[in-house]
Amino acid sequence: MNRCRVVPVLALALGACGDAPKTEQAPVAYTTPVPRPPTPSDSLCPRDGTWKACHLEDRINKAGMGIRVLDTISVPYFDATGTRYKIGKTAKLVAFYFADSAAGAAATGTLDKLRLTPPGDSIGMWPSAPFEAIRTANLIAVLFEVNATQAERVRLALTAGAPQPYTAQPDTQTVHKLPTATAH
């Protein structure tokens, strides 16, 4: 019984007596920063009141979902080529950017409003059956392989409105004073 107690104490005492060899630390390596895509605050992403790819990607990212470009897609009922995105792990979104909201409305005028397919057709030329179509300003977005929660988050992010055009900020150097309060 005493032998069991002596062994750990002896090992601890021997380990504390010696100097541990100094390990060399690797020098810090610096890498060049990876350029990020333009965001609405950048001058590369124009703030003209219409949807652009950089606005869509920023809005989805700010909604808490990762988004990345997969490829482009063409369907016969749109003149514009769509950009196909992957959102999260499984969801897909196809976005079509038009010159203005009237062009987007004209492109979807004869199509089924929920699935953006010709009347009576459930899939059309899409890769799979669309879950939902979202039209906001000059953007037409079609969701695929998405669950209801993801669809709601995307819908809320996009239907919050198109990015607002840039307006000059008021001069902050001018001090505006409120009139002094008077007691009644």
The answer to whether 182 and 158 have CB atoms below 8 angstroms apart is no
CB neighbours of residue 18 within 10 Å: 7
Segments of 37-171 assigned E as strands: 67-73, 82-87, 91-97, 132-136, 139-144
Q: Kindly report, residue by residue over 116-151, the tens digit of the pLDDT.
A: 888 888 777 888 888 999 999 999 999 999 999 999
Rounded mean pLDDT of 162-173? 74
Alpha-carbon span 137 to 162, nearest angstrom: 6
CB neighbours of residue 138 within 10 Å: 21
DSSP 75-91: -TT-SSPEEEEEETTTE
Q: Kindly report, residue by residue over 59-100, the tens digit of the pLDDT.
A: 999 999 999 999 999 988 888 899 999 999 999 999 999 999
Question: What is residue 166's predicted lDDT score, i.e. its pLDDT?
Answer: 75
Question: What is residue 179's predicted lDDT score, i.e. its pLDDT?
Answer: 79
